[in-house]
A and B are shown apart, each in its own frame.
Chain A
Amino acid sequence: MALLDGIPCSSAVTSHRPWPRVVVDADGWQKAIDRLVANEIVLLGLWGDADVVHMALACPEGDAIAVISLECRGGTFPSVGARHAPARRLERAISDLFGLEAAGTPDDRPWLDHQRWDCAHPLGKGGRPKQAIPYRFLPSEGEGLHQVAVGPVHAGIIEPGHFRFAANGEFVVRLEGRLGYVHKGIEALMSGATLDGAARLACRTSGDSAVAYSYAFVSAVESALQIEVPARAVYLRALAAELERLGNHFGDIGAICNDASFALMHAQTGILRERCLRVAETCFGHRLMMDLILPGGLARDLAVDGHAAVTGLLAEIDRAFPRLIELYDKTASLQDRTVGTGVVKPAYARLFGAGGYVGRASGRPLDARRSPGYAPYRDLSFEVPTLQEGDVNARVWIRIREVEQSVQLIRQILAQLPAGAIRAALPSSGEPAEGLALVEAFRGDVLVWVRLDEDRRIARCHLRDASWFQWPLVEAAIEGNIIADFPLCNKSFNCSYSGHDL
C-alpha cells in the first residue's frame, strides 16, 4: 500500500522536492490521522506555516516520504495529538509559534512559550504576550506520593530542562518534562536569511550535531534548487558526519558509565573523543566542524594533512576501543546498573517513530542513511545494528556497534574519495521552490523542510530534531524505575535540549 493511499488530496505541489507534497482538506487530514493511529504510517514531523499546517509522513520502512498540507480556516486545524500522542508537543509548539490551534486537543498548555517573550506567536500574527499563568503539570494523586522538582538549573554543566517527578519513596510514578528554556528563535531568524546565512544558523541549532544540521539543511536546499553537488564534497560531508558521530558516541558511552559513577570509562572515552575533535580541527579547521557545509558544497577542502590525521585516528580507535568494550562488558557492577534499566518497549518506539539509538535499541531498525538513504551512503556498505531489549545497556551497545560501523565507513570514504571541485555555483534567482531532507545525526534523524523565494532567500524553514520523538520516551522509560536511576536513563537517551527548543 503506497504512502498516500486512502488520503484524498485536492492538488499536488510541483515545486516540492524530492518527495511529494499534497494539499488536503479536513477529510484527507482525518484519513491521514486514521492511518497514523492504525500504525500504517509514521509521523515524521508536524509544523506550521503562515495559515497552513504541514505534516510529514513516512511508511514504516522509512523509504517513502510525503508531506500533506492543510489550510487552517479560522486559525484552527483538527488535532492530530488528540488521537496520536506523538503529535501533541509539536501541536503545542505550533500553537505557541503561529497561533494556529489544534481543535480538540486534550493538551492546550503552552510548550516553547514560557510567557517571557515580548510578543505572542512570533512566527504568526504576532500580538501582545499572553497573561502569564502558572504551568499546570499533569496531576498524580494517591497516598504517599510526593513531588520532586529538578531543574532547569542543574548541579552539573548541562543544558536546562525541568523534570517533575511524582514518586512513591524511591519509585517514580510519573515523570513529566518541561522544555523550551533554550528557545533561540532560529526559525524566525531564518525567515528572510540568505542561503549561506541560514546555513550558519542551521549549524548552530544544536552544537553537538553541527554537521548533521547543516548537512540536512543544505540537502533540503539543494533538492529544492535541483543542484548537483560535486562528488568530492558529497564524500567529505559524509566524512565530517561520521567524525561527528564518532566523537559524540565516544562522549556518550563514557558519560553513561560516569552516571553510574564508573569514571574510568569516562576518562578513557574522553581521550578518544578529544582525538576525534582534534582530528576534525586538523581536517576542516574547526573542532565541531561548524560552517563547513554550505549550500552547493563545502566551505573548505580537506586539509593537506587531513588524510593522515584520520588514518591515525582510526588506528588509535582500533587499538584502544576493543579494550574499552571489554571493560564495559566485563565490569559486573556496571552491567548491574545498565541491564534492565529504563526499558523502552518496542511498541512505544514504533508508535513514536523513535529514531537513532533509542529506536534501534528497541527493535526499530531505521537509519536515515539507509532509508530513505542519501549520497554517498548508497554507495557505501554498512550495517544498521538493532537490538530488542530497549534498556540502557542496549542503547550503549548500539552506540558501540555504530562506532565500529563509522570506522568502516570512514575507511571506505577515504579509499573512494574523488578529486575535483568542492562547491557548485548556486542560481541567484528563480521560481519559488521547496525541499525536504532527512539526515541521520548521531542521535537520530534530523528533518529539514525549506521554502525558498524568488531571490533565493529563505521564506520558511523548519528543523525537527530527533529528540521530539525521544523525549516522551524518556518519560515512559523511567516509569517504575527508581529516582536515582533517572540520570543514567536520561544520559542513555542524551536527547537534545537546544535542537528541540530551537
Chain B
Amino acid sequence: MNLVYGLLLQGAQMALVLALAPLLTGFVRKIKARLLRRRGAPLLQPYRDLVRLLRKDVVLAENASWLFRVTPYVIFAGSWVAASLVPTFGTGLLFSWTADLIAITALLGSVRFFLALAGMDVGTSFGGIGSSREVMIASFAEPAMLITVFAVAMIAGSTQLSTISEFMSSPAVGLRVSLGLGLFALIMVALAENARIPIDNPATHLELTMVHEAMVLEYSGRHLALIDLCSELKLLLYISLISCLFFSWGEAPPGAGLTALAVGAAAYAAKLALGGLLLAVFETSIAKMRVFRVPEFLGIALMLALLATLLRFVSGSL
C-alpha cells in the first residue's frame, strides 16, 4: 500500500512539474510585459507555442548527425527526471532515496553537455559561438553549484533533498550566515543556468549576443518544442530547488494526509509565483552584462559558496 501511495505521489509530482513549467514561463513573461507597460501574451501562450511547434515539421540540416536528432529527447528526459527529484508540494518522494542533490547537478550537467555538442553538430558559426559561451558559463556555474550543495549538505547532514528539506523546516536549523551566503550563490547560479538577464536574454533577436538561443538556433518543430519545454522545466526546477532548500515551509512531510498535501500544493504555488515575480522584476531592472563579465559574476557566486562552507567549518552554528 505504501509503495502504491509513494508511486502515486511521485507520479503526481512528475505530472505536476511538466504541467506547471510552461505556465511559470508564461507568468514571468506576463509580469515582465506588465512592468514594461505592455499587455503581454496570455498566460497560456507557452502551451500554445508548444502545441504549434509539435504540429510543425522538423527541418533538419543535411549534415545533421544522429546526435542532433537524439539530443532533444535526451535532454528532455534528463531535465524531467531532474525536475521530478526536487520536492515540490511534499517531501518523501519515492525517487528521492535513489538520487540526491549531486545527482541532480550531474543530470543537468549532462543535459548541457549534449546540448552543447548538438549546437556544434551542424557546423554553423552561431551554434559554435553559443556552445562555447555556454560551456564557458557552465565551467564557472557548476563548481559554484556543487560547493553550495556541499555547504547545505554539511549543515543538514545529508545530500538527500527530502532530508535537507525536513531539516530546514525543523527548529534545529536556526539562523545561519552560511545558509544566507549559499542562498545568494544558488540564486546567481540559477540566473546563469536558466539563461536569464544579466547572463543571457531569453527574448533577444540578436544572434550575436545569444548564448542558449544560439545553440538551439538550428532546431525546429517537435525538437524545438522539447528544447523549449526543457528550458521551462529548468526554470521551474531551480525555483523549486531554492524554495525547497531555503524556504521549505508548508511542504507535506512523508506519509502526510490529503490536507497536508493540499496545504503543500498551495504553498508551492505561492512560492513559484513569488519566485517568478521576483525574477521578472529583477530582469526588468538590469541590463545584460558583457560576456566576459560573466566569469566575474559567477566567481562571486563561487566565493559566496566557498565562504558558506568555510563558515560551517569554523563554527557549527554559523
Shortest CB-to-CB span from B146 to chain A, Å, is 26
Tell me, yes or no, whether B208 is within 8 Å of chain A by CB.
yes
Complex: A154 Cα to B204 Cα, angstroms: 12
Q: Is the CB of A264 within 8 A of B292?
A: no
A334 and B287 in contact, given A267-B37, A483-B129 (Cβ under 8 angstroms): yes
Shortest CB-to-CB span from B270 to chain A, Å, is 27
Shortest CB-to-CB span from B285 to chain A, Å, is 7
Shortest CB-to-CB span from B220 to chain A, Å, is 14
Per-residue A-contact encoding for B195-208, CB less than 8 Å = 1, 0 else: 00110010111111
Q: Is the CB of A264 within 8 A of B291?
A: no
Q: Is the CB of A267 within 8 A of B292?
A: no
CB-nearest residue of chain B to A488: B209
Give chain B residues whose Cβ lies under 8 Å from the Cβ of A231: none
Shortest CB-to-CB span from B43 to chain A, Å, is 19
Q: Which of A155, A170, A261, A266 contacts B197 (CB 8 A)?
A: A261
Q: Is the CB of B205 within 8 A of A155?
A: yes
Tell me, yes or no, whether B293 is within 8 Å of chain A by CB.
yes
Shortest CB-to-CB span from A295 to chain B, Å, is 41
Q: Which of B201, B207, B284, B291 contacts A482 (CB 8 A)?
A: B291
Give chain A residues whose Cβ lies under 8 Å from the Cβ of B209: 259, 261, 484, 487
Number of interface residues of B (CB under 8 A): 30
Q: Which of A257, A266, A268, A487 contacts B206 (CB 8 A)?
A: A487
Give chain B residues whose Cβ lies under 8 Å from the Cβ of A260: 287-288
Shortest CB-to-CB span from A435 to chain B, Å, is 42
Tell me, yes or no, whether A149 is within 8 Å of chain B by CB.
yes
Tell me, yes or no, whether B139 is within 8 Å of chain A by CB.
no
Shortest CB-to-CB span from B33 to chain A, Å, is 9
Q: Is the CB of A148 within 8 A of B125?
A: yes
Complex: A296 Cα to B288 Cα, angstroms: 50
Tell me, yes or no, whether A156 is within 8 Å of chain B by CB.
yes
Q: Is the CB of A261 within 8 A of B201?
A: yes
Give chain B residues whose Cβ lies under 8 Å from the Cβ of A149: 125
Tell me, yes or no, whether A263 is within 8 Å of chain B by CB.
yes
Which residues of B23-43 have CB atoms within 8 Å of chain A's CB atoms? Answer: 32, 35-38
Q: Is the CB of B289 within 8 A of A150?
A: no
Tell me, yes or no, whether A147 is within 8 Å of chain B by CB.
yes
Tell me, yes or no, whether A336 is within 8 Å of chain B by CB.
yes
Tell me, yes or no, whether B286 is within 8 Å of chain A by CB.
yes
Complex: A112 Cα to B109 Cα, angstroms: 49
A267 and B207 in contact, given A337-B289, A482-B292 (Cβ under 8 angstroms): no
Q: Which of B36, B206, B290, B292 contacts A263 (CB 8 A)?
A: B36
Give chain A residues whose Cβ lies under 8 Å from the Cβ of B204: 261
Give chain B residues whose Cβ lies under 8 Å from the Cβ of A486: 208
Q: Is the CB of B207 within 8 A of A154?
A: yes
Give chain A residues whose Cβ lies under 8 Å from the Cβ of B284: 263-264
Give chain A residues whose Cβ lies under 8 Å from the Cβ of B38: 267
Q: Is the CB of B129 within 8 A of A337?
A: no
A155 and B287 in contact, given A271-B37, A333-B198 (Cβ under 8 angstroms): no
Q: Is the CB of B286 within 8 A of A484?
A: no
Which residues of A146-163 have CB atoms within 8 Å of chain B's CB atoms? Answer: 146-150, 154-156
Q: Is the CB of A482 within 8 A of B37?
A: no
Q: Is the CB of A150 within 8 A of B287?
A: no
**Complex A-B: 27 CB contacts under 8 Å:** A146-B125, A148-B208, A154-B205, A155-B206, A156-B206, A259-B209, A261-B198, A261-B287, A262-B288, A263-B203, A263-B284, A264-B35, A264-B36, A266-B36, A267-B36, A267-B37, A331-B286, A337-B287, A337-B288, A337-B290, A483-B129, A484-B209, A484-B290, A484-B291, A485-B290, A486-B208, A487-B209
Can you list the 10 inter-chain pairs with the closest CB atoms, starting with the nearest? A261-B288, A156-B205, A267-B36, A262-B287, A334-B287, A261-B201, A333-B287, A487-B206, A148-B125, A260-B287
Binding site for B on A (CB under 8 A): 146-150, 154-156, 169-170, 257, 259-264, 266-268, 271, 331, 333-334, 336-337, 482-487
Binding site for A on B (CB under 8 A): 32, 35-38, 125-126, 128-129, 132, 197-198, 201, 203-209, 284-293
